[in-house]
Structure formats: C-alpha cells, structure tokens
Amino acid sequence: MKEVALAYAKINISLDIVSKMPDGYHNMKMVMQTVRLADEIEIECIKGEGISVRSGISFVPDDERNIAVKAAMAFYRHTGITGYKTQISIKKNIPVCAGLGGGSADGACVLRLLDKIYKTNLGRKKLEYIGYEIGADVPFCIDGGTSLAEGRGELLTNLTPLPKCNIVICKPAFAIKTPELFGKVRCEKIRVRPDTEGIIEALERSDLGGVARRMYNVFEDVLPKRFQEISAIKSTMYDNDAVGAVMTGSGPTVIGIFEDETLAINAYEHLRRSYEECYLTTAVERLGY
C-alpha cells in the first residue's frame, strides 16, 4: 500500500502572545495561512514491523525525533493497527528551522496519508486531536487554509480565505531558537499587538490591503540585535512594493504580500541575489478534511 501527497508550509499573517499559562506554555492568537511551497511525502506500508523515514538531508533526524515518525507512531497508537512496516520518504522543499512549519506539515501529511491508506476515516477533528500530541502547529496543518489559531495553536476557527495574491518568502542563512524568543517575551509589557479582529474583518471583505496593513508579529519586538537582517529583508520587500511584510512564526523567515505578480517576481529576483532560500508562491485553500 503506497500513497503520495504534498505537505504544505504555513505562514503567519499575524502572531500575538496573549498570556503565559500556568503550565508554562503561552496562549497564542495567530492568523495562519497555508501556502503552495510544500514537501513531498511518500508512504509505503507493507507486512512487517517498524517505522523508518528518509529525507536525504543529513541534519534532519531519521528516528523518533522526526515529527513524521512521531505522527505515524501516534496514528498506530490511536487506531490499534499493527503488523505493518511503514516506510516514509520526504523530499524537503520547505526550509528547515524557518518558522514555516515544515516539520508540522510533514507530520500532518503523514496522518492524512495513513488515514487514507487504512481507510480509517478518522475525520478532521480526530486527526487534529492526534496531531496536537506531536506538535502545536500540526492541527492547523491537517486542513490548512486560512485560520485563527488560539491556545497553543490547537483551537482553530476557519476564516474567509485570503484574497488572491502573490507571496514572497525569504529566509536568511541563520536560525533562531524558539525558546530564546519566548524567554524574552513579557506578555504584560507588549505594547503593540496585531489587530487580529481587523484582519478577520478585512478577510471577510476580501480586502487584501486591509489584511496586509495589519500584518504583525510580536516576536519581532524582542529580536536580538544580531538578527537585524530580518528588518533589512522586510525593508527590501517594501522597497519592491509589497503591501505587507512580516516575520513568520519565530523566524527568521520573512514573508511579503504582493497584489501584482510582476512586482512579486521583481522582489523575488532582487532578494534571490543575496538569499539562497527565497521562494515565490501563492496561498492554498483548505484541503477539505
């Protein structure tokens, strides 16, 4: 039994940290969007035992640390299915440690594919529940589209789809440790927050400019000075006529929204001269789970 599917990256239109919860995690409020940039996942299930994964990238773990393996383990634990060896192949196109949810997208895709292979028909809510066990962004990546994500990211509300636009994604050649940024956040001291309700209302009006003008990520306010290149990339996006630009997730990737494809291509080509991991893409609507 073999199936193949795409694991779509996610971007943050906005990211707000509402409060710190008693368990130490943070209560988030984010508008999230699936984009066409995607990893390619192939799963083959044969008689036998064990779960294996290969990606061809040396620094991507090929054991239980890989979220794709965690997803398969969680699926079998919840369904009780036994007696099959699961071989997972991942062609990585989404940058690693980029704030684009590449690992979460892979984990969600594995859950969807196993559900299809075994005809378990678990449905979106059950898959999201399983996904939450392995990563905060996995529930969103199950169905994708345009959503409001709250709590740790598991409380999802479908939103009106992002109007048609062109998206430039640019990752500088460094990574940011998410715990480092969370450690710098003091919720009571956050002075500027994204206008989440304004974004939702703009989506309902199909007002791309209204969405783009409100794009904001509170993590940008606590970035150490050594990451000032992120601001430079945002400036380049705006210099090339982006209607909005923001760091996605905990970074370091910056995304820019463009109304016109030609302007997006110009920005992409400009950034591509300095940054290897630069992509031109579009939004993806919900997958239909």
User: Residues 21-44: what's their mean pLDDT?
Assistant: 94
pLDDT band, residue 135 (cuts 50/70/90): very high
**What pLDDT score was predicted for residue 157?**
98
Q: How far is CA 62 from CA 39, 44, 216, 270, in A?
A: 16, 16, 35, 36
Which of 32, 26, 38, 35 has the alpha carbon at shortest distance from 12?
32
In terms of Cβ atoms closer than 10 Å to its own Cβ (0-12, 13-18, 19+), residue 36 is middle
**What pLDDT score was predicted for residue 288?**
87
**What pLDDT score was predicted for residue 188?**
85
C-alpha to C-alpha distance for 160 and 111, rounded to whole angstroms: 25
Token pair listed for 117: 């292979």
116-129 per-position pLDDT tens digit: 999 999 999 999 99
Contacts of 22 (CB under 8 A, 6+ apart): none
C-alpha to C-alpha distance for 8 and 123, rounded to whole angstroms: 19
Domains of the chain by start residue, with CATH: 2-158 (3.30.230.10), 166-284 (3.30.70.890)
C-alpha to C-alpha distance for 63 and 28, rounded to whole angstroms: 30
pLDDT band, residue 244 (cuts 50/70/90): very high
**What pLDDT score was predicted for residue 55?**
86
Phi, psi for 178 (deg, rounded to 5): -55, -45
C-alpha to C-alpha distance for 280 and 267, rounded to whole angstroms: 9
Q: How far is CA 154 from CA 27, 51, 142, in A?
A: 10, 26, 11
User: Residues 237-264: what's their mean pLDDT?
Assistant: 97
Model confidence at 24: pLDDT above 90: no
**Cα 161–Cα 146–Cα 136 angle in degrees, nearest 5:** 175
User: Residues 232-238: what's their mean pLDDT?
Assistant: 97
Strand partners, 88: 43, 53
pLDDT band, residue 98 (cuts 50/70/90): very high
Q: Please spell the DSSP secondary structure of 66-127, one letter per residue.
A: SHHHHHHHHHHHHH---SEEEEEEEE--SPSSSSS-HHHHHHHHHHHHHHHHTT---HHHHH
Query: Known catalytic residues?
Result: 10, 137
C-alpha to C-alpha distance for 61 and 42, rounded to whole angstroms: 17
Which of 15, 192, 34 has the alpha carbon at shortest distance from 101?
34
136-166 per-position pLDDT tens digit: 999 999 999 999 999 999 999 999 999 999 9
Strand partners, 54: 89
| H/E element, 256 | strand 254-258
Token pair listed for 163: 């109007």
42-97 per-position pLDDT tens digit: 999 999 999 999 887 776 777 788 999 999 999 999 999 999 999 999 999 999 99
How much is the mean pLDDT over the chain? Answer: 95
Which of 242, 255, 170 has the alpha carbon at shortest distance from 213?
242
**What pLDDT score was predicted for residue 176?**
92
User: Residues 257-275: what's their mean pLDDT?
Assistant: 97
